[in-house]
Amino acid sequence: MNLEIENNTIVKPFSVGWAQTDGIMDDPDNHVERYLSKLTNMFADSDAAAAYLEEKGDVLLYEVYEKSIPRRDGELQFCTSITHPGKIGNEYFMTKGHFHARRDTAEVYYCLNGSGFMLMEKENGEHGLEKMYPGRAVYVPAYYAHRSICTGNVPLISLAVYPGDAGHDYGSIESGGFKHIVVEKNGKPEVIENPRYGRMADN
Ligand code: PAN
Ligand code: ZN
């Protein structure tokens, strides 16, 4: 991408609609789909992920619909994030999660449908877990990695808004993971310590 051209792009006023129940944007510029086959290692029980793939085939874990906004200070990125229901072992389907490349940038998620959690963790281990359900908004402060986790039976759908130049840093989560994971225990979601914390990249 040519950043110079992108940074000089003038954004005209526009609006966009999406169905509240499925989160599909009317006229997206980009549709990202993340499948289990590429993400087996992000689950604490990566053997269970491999077994799931073997038995049930590949499955769509989550997707994002977004408009193309210049990646510069002053603009706002916005998208719908859709995390599908399901579990690997007892760990719920979730997004990869990331820090913003520009660490001093926050984000707001407004839940449109479904239910689950936003897990937020700082590099020093401080964490927060907020419930997500329709009508609830979550504020992800600057410096917190964040991940959406779907704990219901229908997709967890949110509108996310964040600074234009925030960027995404996936590397540290891919290698170290989050310190906490959300699993089903006795039929209910529970947050526990990640047994593979710090060594997610190992097999
Ligand atoms: C969201 C996320 C979206 C997908 O728009 O990008 O939920 O999750 P991953 O980026 O972790 O794959 C956001 O937080 N943007 O900054
Ligand atoms: Zn983000």
pLDDT digits (tens, 9 = 90+) for 161-191: 999 999 999 999 999 999 999 999 999 999 9
CB-based contact 40:200 (threshold 8 Å): no
Q: Is the C-beta atom of 173 inside 6 A of ligand 1? A: no
Q: Are 180 and 129 in contact (CB under 8 A)?
A: yes
Q: Give 97 Cα–ligand 1 centroid separation in angstroms.
A: 6
For residue 194, what are the CA distances in angstroms to 115, 128, 176? Answer: 22, 15, 10
Report residues of the chain scoring pLDDT below 50: 1-2
Ligand 1 pocket: which of 34, 93, 98 to mutate (most atoms within 8 A of CB): 98
What residues does each domain of the chain span?
29-193
> 64 in ligand 1 pocket by Cβ < 6 Å?
yes
Superfamily of domain 29-193: Jelly Rolls (2.60.120.10)
Q: What is each CA distance from 190 to 84, 114, 116, in whole angstroms?
A: 18, 18, 11
Alpha-helical regions (H) of the chain: 3-8, 46-56, 171-176
